[in-house]
Amino acid sequence: MPDWTFLTNHAHVLICVARDPGLRHRDLAAQVGITERAAQRIVADLVEAGYLTSTRDGRRNRYQLHRELPLRHPLEREHQIGEILAVLEGKSPPPPAA
The boundaries of the domain holding residue 71 are 9-89
- Say if 3 falls within a structural domain: no
- Say if 15 falls within a structural domain: yes
pLDDT digits (tens, 9 = 90+) for 21-48: 999 999 999 999 999 999 999 999 999 9
Does 2 have pLDDT greater than 90? no
- Say if 37 falls within a structural domain: yes
- Say if 18 falls within a structural domain: yes
Which of these, 29, 11, 33, lies nearest to 79 by C-alpha position?
11
- Say if 23 falls within a structural domain: yes
pLDDT digits (tens, 9 = 90+) for 44-60: 999 999 999 999 989 89
pLDDT digits (tens, 9 = 90+) for 65-94: 999 999 999 999 999 999 999 998 887 666
Compute the distance between CA of residue 43 and CA of residue 38 in angstroms, rounded to an integer: 9
- Say if 95 falls within a structural domain: no
Domain harbouring 16, CATH code = 1.10.10.10
Quick check: 35 and 29 in contact, CB under 8 A? Answer: yes
pTM equals 0.86
